[in-house]
């Protein structure tokens, strides 16, 4: 199921999407690159009123409900029990476990460091693909390694710090994300992209919310900026970005879909410099060039593997 141009919303606002397959891929990549890169800043602001696990759970639960209502109004092909189960499993990996572990780790690890560590997802995706039986070419391994070199430079240049336990939690979150992306490409999910995404983030968010509530997390005093950041995370960072990511999972390889994890730290560092006054070092510039080169090589070798170049 592809994205449907134009889409009709309640206020009769037409959303015209690119007509070509390449154009839609480019749009989806732009969304996951820029939006998910900005969510670290938004999480930093939202944590002023929301505890970490409850923030992760509620943003995904409400986004899932909203997207489900939108999908239902489009008269989709309704999923069967097996497809709902698979969507719940993928959502548990991508949202419940991955986002939950990230939120847990960010209690003791700074947002910039967290963004850098999450960039290990493509490495985990490549390893999982290799374990699953796909032959990984030397070029693909080189691209992944180059990306990790860039992440290491960015990490050192940014003065990364944090607890060992928090760092381990974030790395586990990256592993769960790569595993969820792999399952999403293998399991039969609901044919309607919006319905599939709604079930994944809604069920995963529900699990995170329950865990947060049982563990004793409660809302702090609510302030306007954290509330605005929460709505941004829910509407843009979750609803829009997960639809774009779901499209990439269906129409590209997991390694290409996960390449956003290389670019997101660059976006996070740039926003930190522009909005928070964080310094941009020479190491940051070098790391940016290396990371973007690794993404370009990932595209090239994946296209060659599939006979498209």
- State the pLDDT confidence band at 14, using cuts at 50, 70 and 90: very low
What is the phi/psi pair of residue 195, to 5°?
-65, -40
- Whether the pLDDT of residue 7 is over 50: the answer is no
Please list, residue by residue across 265-284, b when 16 or more beta carbons sit within 10 angstroms of its beta carbon and e when fewer do: bbbbbbbbeeeeebeebebb
Note whether 247 and 184 are within 8 A (CB).
no
DSSP 33-70: HHHHHHHHHHHHHHTTTS-HHHHHHHHHHHHHHHHHHH
**pTM for the model:** 0.76
Kindly state whether residue 157 falls inside one of the protein's structural domains: yes
Q: Give 178-213 pLDDT, tens digit per residue.
A: 899 888 888 899 988 889 989 999 999 998 899 889
Tell me if the bond preceding 6 is cis, omega within 30° of 0: yes
Residue 11, pLDDT score = 40
* 36 part of a folded domain: yes
Q: Is residue 109 part of a domain?
A: yes
Predicted confidence (pLDDT) per residue in 211-248, tens digit? 889 988 888 788 999 999 999 999 999 988 988 988 88
Contact 209, 58 (CB under 8 A): yes
Residue 17 lies in a domain: no
Domain that holds residue 36: 22-305
Q: Is residue 8 part of a domain?
A: no
- Within 13 Å, how many C-alpha atoms sit on residue 244's CB side? 25
- Number of folded domains that form the chain: 1
Is residue 5 domain-resident? no
What is the number of other CB atoms lying within 10 angstroms of the CB of residue 18? 14
Query: Tens of pLDDT along 244-282?
Result: 988 888 888 766 777 787 788 888 878 877 887 767 778
Residue 157: its pLDDT value, please? Answer: 62
Whether 198 is in a domain gets the answer yes
Residue 60 lies in a domain: yes
Whether pLDDT at 42 is above 70: yes
- Calculate mean pLDDT across residues 6-20: 52
């Amino acid at each position: 199921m592809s994205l449907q141009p134009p889409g009709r919303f309640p206020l009769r606002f037409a959303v015209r999407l690119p007509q070509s397959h390449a154009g839609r891929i480019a749009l989806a990549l732009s969304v996951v690159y820029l939006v998910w890169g900005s969510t670290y800043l938004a999480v930093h602001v939202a944590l002023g009123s929301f505890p970490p696990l409850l923030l992760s759970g509620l943003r995904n639960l409400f986004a899932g409900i909203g997207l489900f209502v939108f999908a239902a109004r489009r008269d989709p092909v309704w999923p069967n029990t097996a497809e709902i189960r698979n969507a719940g499993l993928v959502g548990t990996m991508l949202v419940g476990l991955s986002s939950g572990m990230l939120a847990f780790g960010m209690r003791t690890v700074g947002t910039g460091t967290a963004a850098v560590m999450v960039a290990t997802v493509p490495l985990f995706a490549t390893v999982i693909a290799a374990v699953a039986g796909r032959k990984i070419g030397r070029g693909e391994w080189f691209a992944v390694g180059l990306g990790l070199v860039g992440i290491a430079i960015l990490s050192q240049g940014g003065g990364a710090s944090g607890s060992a336990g928090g760092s381990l939690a974030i790395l586990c979150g990256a592993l769960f994300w790569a595993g969820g992306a792999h399952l999403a490409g293998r399991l039969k999910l609901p044919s309607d992209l919006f319905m599939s995404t709604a079930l994944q983030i809604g069920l995963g968010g529900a699990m995170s919310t329950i865990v947060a509530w049982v563990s004793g997390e409660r809302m702090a005093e609510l302030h306007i900026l954290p509330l605005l950041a929460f709505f941004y995370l829910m509407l843009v960072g979750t609803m829009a970005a997960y639809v774009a990511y779901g499209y990439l999972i269906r129409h590209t390889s997991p390694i290409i879909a996960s390449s956003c994890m290389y670019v997101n730290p660059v976006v996070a560092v740039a926003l930190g410099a522009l909005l928070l006054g964080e310094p941009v070092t020479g190491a940051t510039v070098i790391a940016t060039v290396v990371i973007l080169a690794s993404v370009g090589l990932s595209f090239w070798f994946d296209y060659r593997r599939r006979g498209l170049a």
